[in-house]
Amino acid sequence: MGNTKTHVVPDTYKKRTDLRALIHTFVSSQALIPPLSIDELSDLSDRMIREHTLDPLMKGWMMVEINNRVWMDTVASVPYDKRILLLPKCLSNSSGCEAEIDELGLLCHRCKRCSIPDLQDKAESLGMMSLVAEGFTTVVGLVENRVVDVVIGVSCLDSLEKAFPLLINNAVPGLAIPLNMDGCKDTEVDYHYVSEMMSMRSTAELTLLDYNRLKSTLNEWFTADSLTRLLSPTSEQTSRVAIDWLGGDGKRWRPYLLAATYQALSRDTTLPEKIQRTAIAVECFHKASLVHDDIQDNDTERYGKQTVYSAYGVPVAINVGDLLLGEGYRLLASTENVELIKIASEAHLSLCRGQGMELEWSLSPSPLTMDFVLDIFCNKTVPAFDVSLIMGVVCAGDDPMLRNTLHAYSRALGIAYQLLDDIEDFKTDAPIELRPSSVLAALCEQSTDQAFIDSLLHTNNLKAYLSLPENKPLLQAAINRVEQMAEVYRKETLQALQDLSNVELKRLLFRVAKRILKQ
């Protein structure tokens, strides 16, 4: 919630009510769709403070209330039994409370010396769960596991400053209601406002996507039996190795993104076989590229196991990769959607061009520019996200405007991911192969010492060379620049979603960005 260390809550109920009404009018005029990023909430709060000459120290409170207003329609459309009320222990009467505390929180005796029992009784009458515990971390797991879909939480602004990013980055539908004062005991909240937020109910009912169920479905798709049924019915070595490699380890981000995007747009929870075939095809292309990459990069281990070429030799590995490419195109052809084949082939060509740029440079290293490295990222890394998302859109009926949005999202996400990955290489003791990277480009661009650049590009141990005392400051300056770039592209990733009108798709892409960029 910004860098402000001191937070101010409007000091009377009337002021808080008037400001909430003002925020309601403002949000309604902006046609905002949740979730919003921290940066968006900060900008909107700053704008309201300027336009209405409000106390800048109220920014944190206003960010929370703006976020509440944006989520209200979604919260109201979720059944009561899929909501949870989270209350802080500090609402209790410290001098007279006799409640015990266990691992789940405070066990209220309903003594009526504070507002906790009345709020819990209200929740129970509506069919909501309630919990008295500190921090929103407690309930994020309940949301992840679909025990509840919505969180209505009461907390002080100091606690919210820590918890708010957790809710935002996980795209948790919910309302965070600030206490009227800071402090660790005998606090107060606007009881009627909390009661009103709990009671909201819309005639339109929203069913949120079950991501865990989707992951289980994907795991079923990649069992040996399922793959044997859908792939070419042969049993020679190449096919056996291909099925084993395809159904083995890996995060399966690509099929997940494709199926989740389709579900968010179509609201179809059954996932027809055309989606299964398309998702498996996308993973075929990915696993084929890994087989070939491992040969080109001379990598002997992946996922903690031998690579295909290390286990079976180069000729067999090349053949396995080629077979997976063929299977991918065959599966797409079986969907009778030519557009899917076009998307896959364009991404295939882009990947080969990017890999070609990298291989050509590695054979004859020359001073790198950041533009050259970003071009490689756009050819090699960006399509990994873009293809799956666009195919999901096409399978759901297609939308050219949405394609443009997802292209922008994928480009920013792919670049941010690769920039962070380049930085991560320097945080371990593992040796680094000399290859085009953003850190190496930053080193080349910031130095005017030709002797340093020549040594940099021809050293046999890049990490050791950059660890020399005279080179450490140069490396740190390069990493700082790449970190700044990564932050710029992280913001661009979420900014690309500002005009997205589908709440579930927007939630999905927020969550994906959080996990990919490890926010």
Distance CA 299, CA 296 (A): 8
Q: What's the half-sphere exposure (Cβ side, CA atoms, 13 Å) at 317?
A: 21
Domain at 294, CATH number: 1.10.600.10
* Residue 341 counted as domain residue: no
Rounded Cα–Cα distance for residues 112 and 93 (Å): 9
138 with 270, same domain?
no
Same domain, yes or no: 162 and 133: yes
Does residue 497 fall inside a structural domain? yes
Q: Label the pairing between strands 301-302 and 305-306.
A: antiparallel
pLDDT of residue 303: 85
In-domain check, residue 173: yes
Residue 174 DSSP SS3: strand
| Pairing outcome for strands 150-155 and 83-87 | parallel
| Structural domain span for residue 369 | 364-519
How far, in Å, CA of 31 to CA of 458, rounded?
55
C-alpha to C-alpha distance for 249 and 307, rounded to whole angstroms:
12
Average pLDDT across each block of 10 residues of the chain; the chain has 519 residues. List them in order. Answer: 65 95 94 92 96 94 95 94 88 62 56 77 94 73 82 85 79 90 76 94 82 90 92 85 91 94 92 96 96 90 90 95 96 97 97 95 95 97 95 96 97 98 91 92 95 93 93 96 98 94 94 88
**Both 411 and 485 in a single domain?**
yes
Q: Interior CA angle at 349 toward 228 and 389, to 5°?
A: 65
Cβ atoms within 10 Å, residue 399:
14
204 in any annotated domain: no
Q: What is the pLDDT of residue 108?
A: 59
Is residue 350 included in any domain, yes or no?
A: no
Position of tokens 């747009």? Answer: 265
The pLDDT of residue 391 is 98
- The tens digit of pLDDT for each residue in 200-211 reads 999 887 778 888
Instruction: Report DSSP letters for 105-118, one per residue.
Output: EEE-----SSSHHH
Record the pTM: 0.90
Q: Residue 282: its pLDDT value, please?
A: 97
450 contact partners, CB below 8 Å, separation of at least 6 = none
Distances (CA, A) of 491 to 206, 349, 517, 518: 29, 29, 11, 14
